[in-house]
Structure 1
Amino acid sequence: MSTYEGLEAQLRELPKVSLHDHMDGSLRPATLIELAAEVGHELPSSDPDQLQEIFRTNANSGDLVKYLETFAHTAAVMQSAENLKRIAREYVEDLAADGIVYAEIRWAPEQHTAGGLSLDEAVEAVQAGLAEGVEAVAAADGAIAVGQLISAMRQNDNAAEIVELALRHREKGVVGFDIAGPEAGFPPSKFAASFTRLAEQMLPATVHAGEADGIKSVRDALVHGRAQRLGHGIRVAEDITVTTGPDSRSKTGDGGEDLIEVQLGPVARWVRDRQIHLEASPTSNLHTGAVSALTGDAESGMDAHPFDMLYQLGFNIGVNTDNRLVSGVTLSGELAALAEAFDYSLAELADFQVNAIEASFLDYEDRQALTAAVLEAWNA
């Protein structure tokens, strides 16, 4: 077993928190194949391992729009209450198997009504499946809590209706709102009235921004989206200037170590100083081209991700999977990959769990209790 595999196995046993994981991008390959056969939808492969590899290869295109094309396959099998319920139940079981004890799962109900379900029926089916999953985990002597984040698809211009849907179910499993889909060309300002409605009703929002679009998108999410968190958000690094120069303490100018000067622009400073949480998804950020947009290098690897720079500068950043099926990842694997790239200790990996808990949409008392429980396990 390699060091990476050993660390991933160790991390799988530790309690973790996931804030950015799309249910409709995280189906079990075998389940997708079975359900696709039932509904007559053609997949690129009927072998689970091969299908997973095809999705992962397609995801690693460097283009968010192409990355999102995979969802046509998953959405095709998620058009009935029975299938939604099953997928939600399995989703929770898979999270728990990876050591996740709290998750805010996001999905877009408006993409699951082609089979005749109403928006409310779709949400109710998913909630029933989530509840069954929680019960199944408890029956196996585990523990997990989940909440729904209802996503509106930016390109559909249907945010107002989806906001009302989220508000109707806020006491029945829904903990917040999100907008997803193609980022460029669909800024939060287009849905400003919907975000105002959420604020008036005090339902929190996280906004996809700073992934496929740059710093203007981040600023728009903060101003018009009233975002409490940023989905991905890593292109806030565009507003950070890092310069190096000779050590001014060296009298000769020779042999001195380089000094690094860091300047934060107004958006980056606002995000950092007010601890707006960044829901980073390292592998997905590589797959969608978010990292290469910063580096200018399409071949950028994990060590080029701005994650460590943002962490070292004091940004509130967490680790997520985004889409476990599409990118072929787990949260334990993402943490291990970051540890390998940046030489993180377990204590630093624990920091990311605390960051996520503090930024979650749980009540204050629940956040405090969860933080204590998670740190006790990590410290042990």
Structure 2
Amino acid sequence: MKSETPGVPTPDQIKRAPKVLLHDHLDGGLRPATIVELARECGYGQLPESDPEKLGLWFRDAADSGSLERYLETFDHTCAVMQTRDALFRVAAECAEDLAADGVVYAEVRYAPEQHLTAGLTLEEVVEAVNEGFREGERRALAAGDRIRVGALLTAMRHAARALEIAELANRYRDNGVVGFDIAGAEAGHPPTRHLDAFEYLKRENNHFTIHAGEAFGLPSIWQALQWCGADRLGHGVRIIDDIDVADDGTVTLGRLAAYVRDKRIPLELCPSSNLQTGAAASYAEHPIGLLRRLHFRATVNTDNRLMSGTSMSREFEHLVDTFHYTLDDMQWFTVNAMKSAFIPFDERLAMINDVVKPGYAELKAEWLFRQTAVTSESSAAHS
């Protein structure tokens, strides 16, 4: 990092900065030690490693294959140990604690209830266990001096046929910890239009939903998610770059779909490290987030799967600061974008922006200016 660049934050400031997370999978963020312990408790003997440190490395290596399908295979192990109420409660509580310790003040964490039924839990019992875990994690975080609010997104698997059932579940719990709905899984061969009944139901109920689109599959996936299904946000949406042309002289031309996404301020849940793993981008420098930020799309920064990517919100921002020399102003821009796009009521979003996000960044900017002034004064004194 170039310390002389105005506002460029240090890693410590990045961690302390208030951050907002919209795209994070509960079964993709477990602590390796927790996986080992839960596997032992439930008798799951298929973990590739029994040592937590080696297991964490295995998950990252497996996810580095460049294939979304191979990436998704790693979830077989995490879901296998998340089949009881106690396990779900523990994982959710630790998720909230870990995010809060990383400076996340608001998070929407998604999971698929249908993937946690093999030990006999009902869909309702899964949701209630996770909700209770999030509330416990919020309490623990507060006791540790960190404040966070976590909302759940209920996910339906796009290759299955339970989307309407999960949408109805999300609607039943919408005032009790669940803030919206999502579909996830391999995009190729499983278009969102297969689940139109779920999306039509949610729209009739005035409920919120996001759709995984524009990650492994291109513009048709984004178009269908928006124009056929009516998604409020795009889960990833990184392939919108395919509808943006940059000429040799730097002139930028937006196609009709890209222009629509920007004009309508449709939020993009961008996940840089994950996108590198699945082959959606070749490097941080080549990731579309740089161009999308310059063009003022409603871009947000997210983790996707913290375990598989070996990442956190702070690490994601560190990569972007190192690559694009982003400042505290840039971090605040991404964070406000995310908070504006959250699935909680407008007045609550506004309160988070005005009472938490903006004051937090103002304090960090004042700290940065104070340090720069002190360095300049010391330098002047040394040369006088």
When normalised by structure 1's length, the TM-score is 0.92
Q: Who is 2:357 aligned against?
A: 374
Q: Who is 1:38 aligned against?
A: 41
Q: Who is 2:237 aligned against?
A: 233
Q: Who is 1:8 aligned against?
A: 11
Where structure 2 has 5 or more consecutive residues not aligned to the other structure, the ranges are 4-8, 364-384
When normalised by structure 2's length, the TM-score is 0.91
RMSD (CA atoms): 1.4
> Take 1:67 and 1:155, find their aligned partners in 2: how far apart are those partners?
16
- Are 2:6 and 1:24 aligned? no
Q: Per-residue deviation at 1:135?
A: 1.2
> Take 1:49 and 1:8, find their aligned partners in 2: how far apart are those partners?
23
Q: Per-residue deviation at 1:113?
A: 0.4
> Take 1:174 and 1:126, find their aligned partners in 2: how far apart are those partners?
10
Deviations 1:85-107 (A, max 9, x none): 01111110001010111001100
CA contact (8 A) 2:83 2:121 kept: yes
> Take 1:57 and 1:225, find their aligned partners in 2: how far apart are those partners?
35
Deviations 1:306-339 (A, max 9, x none): 1110111111101000000111101000001011
Question: 1:84 pairs with 84, 88, 94, which one?
Answer: 88
> Take 2:361 and 2:2, find their aligned partners in 1: how far apart are those partners?
22
Match runs of 1:217-366 below 5 Å: 217-244=221-248, 259-291=249-281, 300-366=282-348
- For the structure 1 residues 2 and 118, does the alpha-carbon distance in structure 2 shift closer, same or farther, using more than 3 Å as the test? farther
Q: Secondary structure at the match of 1:156?
A: coil
Deviations 1:105-140 (A, max 9, x none): 100000000000000110001011111111111222
CA contact (8 A) 1:276 1:316 kept: yes
Where structure 1 has 5 or more consecutive residues not aligned to the other structure, the ranges are 245-258, 292-299
> Take 1:359 and 1:141, find their aligned partners in 2: how far apart are those partners?
26
Question: 1:144 pairs with 143, 148, 165, which one?
Answer: 148
CA contact (8 A) 1:195 1:224 kept: no
Q: Per-residue deviation at 1:2?
A: 11
Q: Who is 2:206 aligned against?
A: 202
> Take 1:191 and 1:269, find their aligned partners in 2: how far apart are those partners?
26
CA contact (8 A) 2:167 2:202 kept: yes
Q: Post-superposition, which runs of at least 4 consecutive aligned residues in structure 1 deviate over 6 A?
A: none
Q: How many aligned positions are there?
A: 356
Q: Secondary structure at the match of 1:92?
A: helix
CA contact (8 A) 1:198 1:204 kept: yes
> Take 2:145 and 2:313, find their aligned partners in 1: how far apart are those partners?
21
CA contact (8 A) 2:26 2:110 kept: yes
> Take 1:342 and 1:225, find their aligned partners in 2: how far apart are those partners?
34
Q: Secondary structure at the match of 2:159?
A: helix
Match runs of 1:43-192 below 5 Å: 43-192=47-196
Q: Who is 1:249 aligned against?
A: none
Q: Who is 2:369 aligned against?
A: none
Q: Per-residue deviation at 1:361?
A: 0.8
